[in-house]
Structure 1
Amino acid sequence: MIKTLIIDEETVNVLSYASIKPLWFTDYQIPLSLEQRIKRVQISDKLFLISEKTTSESKLLVIKVNSNGIFSELDNKDKSIAFDRVITIALSQFGESISPGKGWGRYVSGKKLSIYATKRTQKNKNRLYFDTSPIDTNHIFAYALDSNNNGFENIEVDESLFLDSVTLIDEAINSSWQNTVEADDKTQYGIELTEDLYRSFGECLNFEQWYENKLTNEQRSFVDKSYDEPVRLKGAAGTGKTLALAVKILKDAYRFETEKKQKRLLFVTHSFVTAQLVEDMLNSMDSEMNWKFLEHVKIKIVSLYDLAQELLNYNLKKFTPISKDGKEGRKLQFEILEEVLTKKLLEAKFKVGVLGKCGDNFKSAMESKESRKPLLLEILNEFACVLDAENIVMGSDNGDKYLTSSRENWQMHLPTEHERRAVLELHMGFRKYLKDLNVLSMDQMIADLNRYLMSHEWNHICEDEGYDGVFVDELHCFTRPERMVFHELFRLNKSFETKKLPLFMAYDIKQSVDDNFICTVKKGSGSALINSTNVGKTNLVELTQVFRYTPEIAKFLSDLDGSFPALDLASEWSELTLKTNTPSGAIPKLSLYSDPVDLIDNVFKLASRQARSLSGKKTVAILCSNFDLFEEYLIAGRIKKYYEPISSRDDVTKLGRLKGKCIFSMPEYVAGLQFDMVYLINLDKVEVDEDNPSCGAYRRFVSRVYLGASRAKEELHISACESRQGYSPILQPALSSNSLLMS
């Protein structure tokens, strides 16, 4: 009987692409179709799944799989789910840009970590237990399954079993392959390697071939930029900003390696999903993945929140950030603030003594469930950019000054002391809620990070731990305090006072579906967007050529561009002009339905039928432009069989296993991804305020439509409801120019 399953870091990556069925857990066989990637070696009761690159220094995942191992009490259908979660935890501990799902109930105590083995129910409370540094090694040990919530101190870690396993790694490396005969239709082993859709990356070209043969002149101009000044890369969705960043960091790394220069390069994203996409890009451009093992150059790819957690050593403490993904974290923070406000409104002291003294508009927005969302988003931005950033709390000296001091014009409009007091009260309730959950908000963590980067400790270690070049993707997603982090990450930052920092930033303001980027700009000053990075004057490269979607979709996006409010962003806001060499396709279509029920009955059936008929060769997505409707549709039983939901950034990891299924999501959850066909639903007239086109709600809606439409590569279908006043007026320019046709 096999007691432990030992998997090296490289094979953990391979298995993260695999679709695994219960049959595989019988004896963990590997078919010949995977022989080039996975070597199966059994030594006594220890089974090794390793790669040809495995060395005695490789990080290992050790899983206890005997009669009381982590799969022993699970139903067959749950074993695959639990194994997938084990792989995810291993990847996150090995430094990959991936994060446990928000519903996994992650709990950390020192080196120990636990999560739910499967979806938690009243009957199923099984938890998986891990030691993330067993016997002070860099391996990870999945050592127990427990349904009684006994806690770490009451569950034994069999260190001898772990030690007996890892000490055999050299013998496993030198052993011959023990893979089985190739599986046929009658003999399947329950494992199939499927490339995740979000990880697929076009043509198999190395970075030199991309540079010489595929990049546009604009992209190549950016890649050629030197390290003597900061550079910003601006371009619409689909113009290849991330690709240009990826080619540049690889090309520069190999040049530095050839020159034997000791360099540390950092690639920072707003989302762990984007970080994983970038890593897959680099793996595609360097199929041997030699970039991970360069002698003189180190490349790190990470979300800002993973980086913060690492620098602040949160993994060794008894609390965690609310999320390691920017978009997911901010969604959770909004839900918490909404709950805090709901409870506050039940308190007479707050409702009468504080809110009752506020202006009528502020008060009515707070009290109305239907209209409070824009205000709460602004308040969260105030938390991020002012209160948490400057450690302002109710009752402190800073809090007293906050109530009466003058405000800069990029800050939230709070004209009187009463409105500010209401915000401080909500902030106090928000902080208490987080503390009770034993978590930090994204903004609290970033505030801690900014303070740490100004500390004596960082000043001592930044020569070793700092970076010689920093690459930032999705700059438009970061808040002002987050953008202030980047310039402090360089080696001996103070020595750069007379030099310009090599900070390379890619962004598209029009993809920003919240106000984190916009609300921190002084009116009329587009340059303030970049000035908040504290790197001085920057060089601009603008991308205008699209290679991700058809000319017809590009034309629609150009017409949609006229609906964006100008927002006083000066030179940062220019008219969208796109050129594309991709093949022509169908003109985007607009369909009108009588009501939301009629819409979902028709759209979901059609999208599901297309996904099945394409047999997984093409991807189909339904994207909803309205958050409340999205939540309603998710609980509508009549359409559940037609789709797989992507309701958070964590869920994106499902995509590779959804052959023949369409997905249902919102544009912000699939940012950075592409689908062959996109159904963009509920672009209704009621979504926008025609009399106030510059307001935040209007701008966010247009950005969400722009983001969703630009996810389509070949076909774009748009729908609206007559019961919701018909289609949105933002579509009229496209209808008038025939870049959008009524179906």
Structure 2
Amino acid sequence: MNYIYITYDAITEFASDRFFQSAEYSESIMLCNILRGKEEKWQHNKIAFKLVKNGCFFYTEKLNKKRGIIFDLSTFEGFLKNENERIITIFQKTIKYAVRYFEKLPTTTCEKLLPGSTTIVYPFPFTATKDVDKVLIDRNSSKQDRKDRNILTVFFFGNNDKAKVSFTNLNKAIEELVNIRYNEDLVNGTKEKRQTALLVTDLNTLNISIDSKIGYENWQYYLTENQKQFVTSLIKGPERLEGAAGTGKTLSMILKCIYILKSKIDKLEEYHIIFITHSLATKERIIDIFQNNWSEFENYQEKNGSRPIVSIFITTLQEWSANHLGTNSIAENEYLDKDASYSKAIQILYIEQSYDFVMKNHWNAYSLICSNEFSSFFNNTPKENLLEMLQQEIAVMIKGRAGGNFDKYKMLNRPQYSIPIKNDADKSFMFVIFNNYQHSLEMVGQYDSDDITLSALGQINTPIWSRRRSREGYDACFIDETHLFNINELSIFHYINKPEEQNNIIFAIDKSQAIGDWGITNKSLENLFNISLNKTEEHKFKTVFRSSPDIVNLAFNILSSGATLFTNFENPLDYSFFNFTKEDDRKCKKPVYIMHKDDDTIIKNAFDWADNYSKEMNCLKSNILIIATTDILLKEMESYAKRCHKPFEVLQSRSDSKTIKQAIDGNKYILSGIDYVGGLEFDALVIAGVDKGRVPPSKDSNDGAYHFMNYAWHNRMYVAVTRAKYAICILGVQSRGVSPILESSIYYRVLDYQE
């Protein structure tokens, strides 16, 4: 096969059909097999395929012989040397350029018009460490005595800008094109199948999200092959679900639960699932999604001590832990807070109180024997950053790995990016702060989330619980957002299931969404879950459904920047793919980074941009999120909104569905601190206060603190930008300068930078 010719009518169909956007759909796999010459099998309800002597044609009932695109396979090898995922990306980026070319629309950031008649399309994100592959397209074909035809010729793939185009195969294709006729037999042409296609088209045009109330059965239509395999397979041991933000991990977990429960109900088999979330707000959102997609959910929900023969129990780990402390069960007023996320916020206040006391009464003596790095850390690190690192040290290292034992603590290996502890005196001083913190909790008779988790671990790691597990344990444990749990919390999961089912742990993870280096490696997951990852079924989701290609490229560059700086920083967007159709693309805007003179101007422009976007795109205000990078900036935003009578709500916790519902009901903007935006999605967002010295905090602070905060801010920015579907506006103060996290995004023109 020397060429592949696609008429304009088929071009628009390929660009609009969401099942040709990702190689994880069966339709795309079938297309890839034809593009690389592997097979000739084709079935589609609108697009016809015909093999001729020297090549092949794709066209539809609305056959347009005046416009088209030809892939000249004598010089273009983009389909031969690549995997399906890359083939679909190359194909779609080229096809969508053709749509813009024929409709006279502006080019995008991945397209470049060279002097003369050549266009370059960059199908993959730029990184400093990789060669840049490109597609070369000739726009001059219409001038080669083609009468009134306008045809694009795709003639090269690679990193050579000087390849030459030939029109030999184009001439052959035009000779064959004269004989091409549409025949219903070349598509799935039965009346019954055409009626089904109409129903499918209705679903295909829906603007869906995880909150869409379309029902379990209709979700099957949208699932990729990878997702279907995960959702519709029975549980036979541990399963690890990996994917970047917006790839559908949480929804797939929920659909798998429904699939398993429905199959057990049909068979009248007793079966019990526990679904564990990180916070009460997330728990309520998960329950909402179950209710929206399974009408019988409440009949099988375990609650108030009632457990149907087939059941699902949705809970937080802190709730479950507190309920399994036996006779030592704690009273309501003994929690720092019943919500683990709120509990950790209150924990910071107690740590600050202990830190202030110990620094005032003990630091002068300890500063004489502590290491220089440790002393510099305490003397030079901004307090807000220092408290965040102290909280992690107490939770992960002292309580989690050492169990509050000083001798064990001294023997521990250190996380790579953490407090610079170099000798026993440093560790001793840390324990003085820890002991004062614990004493403060004891004085008010309260327990933090780590106390509750570790106490539960002590209770259930006993012969008594081992016996009760057979009756009260679960057949499968689903863990959403595993990356948000610390090592203490992860230690408890493999005790929750029945003894014979203890390996049935299904967990979703994206370590790039965890704020900071928690030291959670594959090896630690094996030990904590008591499983072998070599024997764990892995499901990797690569199709990003939530965000536009430009937004995914921005997130990719942020993570690539982190991976360059930190050896253990992961980039789950490597080889990710998009699911945006031609219609979706028209709603998209290139991400912008705009610098202003001061914070007051930033805040005003944040609301101005949101107002303009809402009007221009006919978008509800509640579909726009305005993020502040600091608590002070958030308070100033609230004050401005009140003064200017802007309708708004403020997120109170991560995945705060209650506040979001209030915003939707009143069509109000949603304001948030940057740590509360995970698990949500919006049409557009503004991030205010992204500049040098603030994101991340200034490098003038101690190196250890700076590395930790830099690491954490790469995580935060990745989580923040992946909340947006179509548009992002980032705002900073000009006198501060550009945030280092965004420098590569500006360099590679992923961001439209404006001063």
TM-score by length of 2: 0.64
CA distance in 1, matches of 2:211, 2:331: 41
User: 1: distance between equivalents of 2:297 and 2:429?
Assistant: 53
RMSD: 3.1
Q: 2:686 aligns with which of 679, 685, 688?
A: 679
The residue aligned with 1:703 is 715
1:366 and 2:369 matched: no
**C-alpha distance in 2 between matches for 1:712 and 1:718:** 12
- 1:653: which partner in 2? 658
Alignment partner, residue 165 of structure 1 = none
Corresponding position of 2:748: 737
* Matches of 1:543 and 1:680, distance apart in 2: 27
SS of alignment partner, residue 388 of structure 1: helix
Structure 1 residue 444: Cα displacement: 0.8
Q: Which of 540, 543, 552 is the matching residue for 1:542?
A: 540
Secondary structure at 1:261's aligned position in 2?
Answer: coil
The answer for the alignment partner of 1:306 in structure 2 is 319
How much does 1:474 deviate?
Answer: 0.7
Structure 1 residues 591 and 268: CA distance shift in structure 2, 3 A: same
In structure 1, distance between residues paired with 2:413 and 2:233? 35
| 1:574, distance to aligned residue in structure 2 (A) | 6.9
Q: What is the correspondence of 1:246-395 to structure 2 with a 5 Å cutoff?
A: 246-289=254-297, 291-292=299-300, 295-312=308-325, 317=331, 319-347=333-361, 350-368=362-380, 370-389=381-400
Structure 1 counterpart of 2:215, one-letter code? N
CA distance in 1, matches of 2:604, 2:594: 13
Q: Assess if the C-alpha contact under 8 Å between 2:503 and 2:530 holds in 1.
A: no
Q: Residue 198 of structure 2 corresponds to which residue in structure 1? A: none
Of 595-604 and 606-615, deviating more is 606-615
- Within 5 A, what are the aligned runs for 1:326-725? 326-347=340-361, 350-368=362-380, 370-389=381-400, 398-399=405-406, 401-402=407-408, 405-410=410-415, 413-492=420-499, 495=500, 501-515=503-517, 518-521=518-521, 526-537=522-533, 538-565=536-563, 567-569=566-568, 575=574, 577-582=576-581, 583-584=584-585, 585-607=588-610, 616=620, 618-627=622-631, 629-630=633-634, 633=637, 641-642=645-646, 643-649=648-654, 652-658=657-663, 659-686=666-693, 687-688=695-696, 695-725=707-737
- Residue of structure 1 aligned with 2:244, choices 227, 236, 245: 236
CA contact (8 A) 2:684 2:725 kept: yes
Residue pair 1:484, 1:534 contacting (<8 A) in 2 also: no
Normalising to structure 1: TM-score of the pair? 0.65
How far has the Cα of 1:282 moved from its partner? Answer: 1.0
The change in CA–CA distance for 1:611 and 1:344 in structure 2 (over 3 A counts) is farther
User: Structure 1 regions of 5+ residues with no counterpart?
Assistant: 1-198
Using the TM superposition, give the Cα deviation of residue 375 of structure 1 relative to its aligned residue in structure 2, in angstroms.
4.2
CA distance in 1, matches of 2:573, 2:547: 21
Return the letter of the residue paired with 1:550: S
Report if aligned partners of 1:452, 1:458 keep a CA contact under 8 Å in 2.
Answer: yes
Instruction: Indicate the SS of the match to 1:718.
Output: strand
Instruction: Choose 267-276 or 230-239, whichever is displaced more.
Output: 267-276
Judged with a 3 Å threshold, the aligned counterparts in structure 2 of structure 1 residues 572 and 458 are, in CA distance, closer, same or farther, namely farther
Q: Aligned partners of 1:628, 1:355: CA distance in 2, in Å?
A: 32
- Whether the aligned pair in 1 keeps the contact of 2:689 and 2:733 (CA below 8 Å) is yes
Q: CA deviation at 1:305?
A: 1.2
Q: CA deviation at 1:633?
A: 4.9
Aligned to 2:102: none
User: Secondary structure of the residue that 1:205 maps to in structure 2?
Assistant: coil
CA distance 1:638–1:490, change in 2 (3 Å): closer
Aligned partner letter, 1:471: F
When residues 651 and 551 of structure 1 are mapped into structure 2, their CA distance, relative to the original with a 3 A threshold, is closer
Q: Which one-letter code corresponds to 2:604 in the other structure?
A: D
Does the 8 Å CA contact 1:275/1:302 hold for their aligned counterparts?
yes
Question: 3-state DSSP class of the match of 1:695?
Answer: helix
Residue identity in the other structure for 1:564: G
Find the aligned partners of 1:285 and 1:653 in 2 and give their Cα distance. Answer: 19
User: Does the 8 Å CA contact 2:677/2:719 hold for their aligned counterparts?
Assistant: no
Whole-Å separation in 1 of the counterparts to 2:570 and 2:715: 19
**Kept in 2: contact 1:325–1:649 (CA 8 A):** no
CA pair 235-573 structure 1, distance change in 2 beyond 3 A = closer
Change over 3 Å in CA distance of 1:604–1:307 after alignment to 2: same
Match of 2:61 in 1: none
* 1:283 CA displacement: 0.8
Q: Is the 8 A contact 2:548 2:578 kept in 1?
A: no
Match of 1:204 among 195, 213, 222: 213
Cα gap change, 1:564 to 1:430, in 2 (>3 Å): same
Supply the distance in 1 between the matched residues of 2:230 and 2:335 (Cα, whole angstroms). Answer: 35
Shift, 1:617, TM fit:
6.5
Secondary structure of residue in 2 paired with 1:532: helix
Identity %: 22
Corresponding residue SS for 1:257: helix
Q: CA deviation at 1:200?
A: 8.7
TM-superposed CA distance for 1:456, in Å, is: 2.9
Q: How does 1:77-92 map to 2 (within 5 A)?
A: none
Cα deviation, residue 624, structure 1? 1.8
* Counterparts of residues 149-188 of structure 1 (less than 5 Å): none
**614-623 or 250-259, which moves further after superposition?**
614-623
Q: Helix, strand or coil for the counterpart of 2:411?
A: coil
CA contact (8 A) 1:601 1:639 kept: no
Q: Shift in Å at residue 553 of structure 1? A: 1.7
Q: 1:216 to 1:530 in 2, by over 3 A?
A: farther
In 1, the alpha carbon distance for the partners of 2:636 and 2:245 equals: 29
Secondary structure at 2:684 match in 1:
strand
CA drift of 1:572 comes to: 8.3
SS of corresponding position for 1:685: coil
State how far apart, in whole Å, the 2-side matches of 1:690 and 1:221 are: 47
Distance 1:560 1:386, change over 3 A: closer
Give the deviation of 1:618 after TM superposition.
4.7
Deviations 1:188-241 (A, max 9, x none): xxxxxxxxxxx9954433223312x11111211222343222111111111100
Q: Retained in 2: the 8 A contact 1:622–1:664?
A: yes
Paired amino acid for 1:621: L
Q: SS at the partner of 1:219?
A: helix
Shift in Å, 1:359: 1.7
CA drift of 1:647 comes to 4.3
**Structure 2 CA distance for partners of 1:208 and 1:660, relative to 1, 3 Å:** closer
Q: Distance in 2 between matches of 1:637 and 1:315?
A: 44
Return the alpha-carbon distance in structure 2 between the equivalents of residues 387 and 218 of structure 1: 40
Letter in structure 2 aligned against 1:269: T
Distance in 2, Cα, partners of 1:449 & 1:256: 30
Deviations 1:41-99 (A, max 9, x none): xxxxxxxxxxxxxxxxxxxxxxxxxxxxxxxxxxxxxxxxxxxxxxxxxxxxxxxxxxx
Q: Does the Cα contact within 8 Å between 1:600 and 1:639 map onto a contact in 2?
A: no
Q: Residue 513 of structure 1 aligns to which amino acid in structure 2? A: I
Q: How many residues align?
A: 523
Give the letter for the 1:542 counterpart. K
